[in-house]
A and B are shown apart, each in its own frame.
Chain A
Amino acid sequence: MNPPVGQRKLRLATTSLAGCFGCHMSLLDIDERLFELLDRVDLDRSPLTDIKRCGPCDIGLIEGGICNAENVHVLREFRQQCKVLIALGACAVNGGLPAQRNHLDLGQCLQEVYRTGPGIVGGQVPNDPELPLPLNQVHPVHEIVRIDYFIPGCPPSGDAIWKFLTDLLDGRTPRLGHPLLHFD
């Protein structure tokens, strides 16, 4: 299904912030439909291309919430470059599993994980200046920038992602009904 003659291919960027890459695995789960997708879009910045900076894009997919300063930076870059920005998966939508630390004190978390936890001898909290600073709470992406669409699920199924993207590419209002709409 090539785009009509004279119509350029759309550009798609993807990233995983405070996520587990499960949503990207689910994107790969569209299996052979990946070929059809790549007939219709070119990939820009994405873990699949290893391009490091996002250029002007039509669609951006954000997996994961916002847990550190770099996440904020990348998210803002995506918002600046992408015409349509989509929150992909539970963590991007509501913080998800990483947000389960939100009622804990970050300093105490770091101490326990790196210094005082069971089996740790002579550990120290990583302090390399290149490491992005963690935020005191994890946030969903819509609390930082405007988000156009949301695909919930942990992860959303390949079928759900495919339905959503093809709706969007075909100019329909993207819609996930039963049984594609899932929070778990």
Chain B
Amino acid sequence: MNAPSLLLDGLPVPFSDGQTIMEAATVAGIFIPHLCHHPEFKPQGSCKLCTVKANGRYVSACTMPAKDGMEVENNSPDLNDKRRTLLQMLFVEGNHFCPSCEKSGNCLLQALAYELEMLTPHFTQFYPDRPVDASHPEVLLDFNRCILCELCVRASRDVDRKNVFALSGRGIGKHLIVNAESGRLADTGFSLADKAAHVCPVGVILEKRQGFLQPIGCRRYDLQPIGMQVGRPPATGSSEQGS
């Protein structure tokens, strides 16, 4: 019996039992846009950037198990339009000012906006008021850029066993909080060695005194579009060096 495979944009993609569509695509070197997915963490399917059409239904590629003979549509104008709209909503909901962000060039949100050719945020800007937390000696928290992917929450809870981060509130009031009575990062057991310090896909969790050591223009996604970096481990933090 042949190994099971699915059809991804018409191409046969083999997979092994228990793999998701995202995992099968990554092994095959095919890019599916994603934000909250990280290969080292249990998928949660919240950002919806990886939405594909599997057998005619919209599903999250990071949570949907691959099935033999499944027909999956990924890189299509319809899906990319929807993904671009999701990005635009994320951009207007926070304060994403790339020119003044240390993460620019190493940022997953920005890289996807490049990949999907998002030229304008389109919607009305929220311009929320979100104070930064600079209390920690090694790490700056800039909540203005949070996209609620929960990667730091998952890393701190599941890997570091520290439960430093959580999401609080509901709907539009949902926001990232720090698990300390004072609400300040300095009053937690958080350290730069934590996994959670290196999983933020955007510029919220930033190592201090690293900002522009690596010049703008020479960074990871300045050098190569994200769609051509399938299988490379995700960005590890603000200090990541481009290749």
A residues whose Cβ falls under 8 Å from a Cβ of B? 87, 90, 93-97, 99-100, 102-103, 137, 139-140, 142-143, 147, 149-152, 154, 175-179, 181-184
Contact = CB atoms under 8 A, between A and B. Distances in A.
Given A103-B129, A154-B99, A184 B105 contact: yes
Nearest to B119: A150
A183 B99 contact: yes
A96 B127 contact: no
Contacts of A99: 97, 125, 127
Nearest to A22: B99
Given A93-B119, A100-B100, A147-B120, 19 more contacts: A90-B99, A93-B121, A94-B96, A96-B97, A99-B127, A103-B130, A139-B125, A140-B121, A140-B125, A142-B120, A151-B119, A152-B120, A154-B99, A177-B117, A179-B222, A183-B110, A183-B113, A184-B104, A184-B105
Contacts of A103: 127-130
Contacts, number: 74
Contacts of A154: 98-99
Interface string B111-154: 00110010111101101111000000000000000000000000
Interface string B72-109: 00000000000000000001000111111100110000
A132 B96 CA distance: 28
A149 to B, nearest CB: 8
A184 B98 contact: yes
Nearest to B101: A184
Contact of A181 (B99, B105, B114): B114
20 contacts: A90-B97, A93-B119, A94-B97, A99-B125, A99-B127, A100-B100, A103-B127, A103-B130, A140-B121, A149-B119, A151-B119, A152-B119, A152-B120, A176-B119, A178-B224, A181-B114, A183-B104, A183-B110, A183-B114, A184-B99
B225 interface: yes
Contacts of B128: 103
Contacts of A97: 97, 99-100
Nearest to A180: B114
Nearest to B122: A142
A183 B99 CA distance: 7
B230 interface: no
A150 B120 contact: yes
Q: What 6 pairs between A and B have smallest CB-CB spacing?
A: A154-B99, A183-B98, A103-B129, A102-B127, A150-B120, A150-B119
A94 B122 CA distance: 9
B7 interface: no
Contacts of A140: 120-121, 125
A93 B91 CA distance: 12
